[in-house]
Amino acid sequence: MRRYVVNQLRDKVIPALERISGKAFDEDRLREMLARSARAEDDLVHVLESAKHRPSPIDAYFGGVYYIGPIFTAFRGTEDAVDYYRVLREEVDARVREGRGPVTPDGELRQERYRVVVEGPPNWTSFREFWKMFSDEGAVVVASTYTKVGGVYDQGFRHDPERPLETLADYCMGCYTNLNLPTRVDLLSKYVSEYSADGFLINSVKSCNSFSAGQLMILREVEKRTGRPGGFVESDLVDPRYFSASNIKNRLESYFQMIDQKRLAGASR
């Protein structure tokens, strides 16, 4: 598989890019960028894993998309990205030392009441409203799969300047949405236990089948493996018509109250 992708890069992608850009492929420059990328990846993983603390200093879904933004888009392999992740890491470390919770649109979260893992993309059209439904309830997302669509660095992958094309091939094949369903179930179950989550939620969107296909199977399997309750809400990434605030709020509230009830039942047993 790796050789197949490497061949594609060498025989198709690189010549096409050289032709369009008028610049020759510079492997040394690629190696430098890969090395810088790996440094930024170290800090990104450190930031994402800070959510293992109680309280979590970050929200790893709503906040998480800001943390993955630079590396997943225009700044991969740049000095700017290296700087950004160093500053971010320092800030997050300070929050951990001070025992502070994540920043939300309404300021710092005072009390962490629920820790959840979220699977699926966010709803971009009502992002703030959706986030608020979590933060109002004191729910913090401690791990998410959406923040792994640009690489599952927390599972050990790093860009390797010694093997430039091979490492790019590994990256492409290892992105979350290129993982098969059993691997996704493994990853989610691992997150639920490693991040001491009360449960996990799926935001099932209409416009991205790379995520949505198989989510109900994932829900049942992760529930079975972890014994933690799974929740299911439906919206969309891009189409505002699919976002029904009252319907989603109803499901989220029901889900959090279900966790409460389970805690209560667990305590009285």
Partner 1 sequence: MKLEYSVGIDLGSTTTKAVVLDGGARILGRGITNSRSNYDVACQIALDEALIHTRFSLIRRHLDAGDADALLVAFERLFRARQYASQLRALDATLRELATDGVGGLLDGVLAEMQAEIGALYAADGQRKSDFFRDLAGSRYMELAEQQARGIPGAFDRLAGLFDKAILVVENSSDAVGTFEEHVRGALGDLPAPRADLQRAVDAVLGFELLQIGSVGTGYGRQRLPFPEGQIRSEILCHGLGAHHMFPRTRTVLDIGGQDTKAIQVDAQGVVTSFQMNDRCAAGCGRYLGYIADEMNLGLHELGGIASRSTRRVKINSTCTVFAGAELRERLSLGERREDILAGLHRAIILRAMSLLARSGGVEEEFTFTGGVARNQEAVRALARLIAENYGERTINISPDSIYTGALGAALFGWRDAQRRAEVPV
- Binding of residue 73 to partner 1 (CB under 8 A): no
State the sign of the Cα–Cα–Cα–Cα dihedral 246, 68, 211, 109. Answer: negative
Q: Tell me the residue type at 178.
A: N
Q: Does 119 bind partner 1 (CB under 8 A)?
A: no
Closest by CA position to 61, among listed 110, 151, 123, 138: 123
Show Cβ contacts of residue 18 under 8 Å, excluding neighbours closer than 6 positions. 24, 25
Block residue for tokens 């799969």: 145
Closest CA to 73 of 158, 178, 150: 150
Q: Does 253 bind partner 1 (CB under 8 A)?
A: yes
Stretch that binds partner 1, among 19-27, 30-38, 114-122, 236-244 (CB under 8 A): 236-244
Is the Cβ of residue 183 or residue 244 nearer to partner 1 in the bound state?
244
Q: Is 258 near partner 1 (CB under 8 A)?
A: yes
Burial annotation 89-105 (CB, 10 A radius, 16+ → b, else e) = beebeebbeeebbbbbe
Compare residues 82 and 248 and give the one whose CB is closer to partner 1.
248
Q: Find how far residue 142's CA is from the centre of its chain.
A: 10
Residue tagged 């599952």 (tokens): 152
Nearer to partner 1, 34 or 202 (CB): 202
Residue list 159-218, contact with partner 1 (CB under 8 A): 216
CB of 192 to partner 1, least distance (A): 15
Give the shortest CB-51-to-partner 1 separation in angstroms: 25
Of 59-67, 156-164, 166-174, 249-257: span binding partner 1 (CB under 8 A): 249-257
Asked if residue 244 binds partner 1 (CB under 8 A), the reply is yes
74, 220, 238, 240: residue in contact with partner 1 (rule CB under 8 A): 220
Pairing of strands 107-108, 103-104: antiparallel
Nearer to partner 1 by C-beta: 6 or 192? 192
Q: Are strands 199-205 and 139-144 parallel, antiparallel or unpaired?
A: unpaired
Residues at the interface with partner 1 (CB under 8 A): 216, 220, 223, 229-230, 232, 234, 242-244, 246-247, 250-251, 253-254, 257-258, 261-262, 265
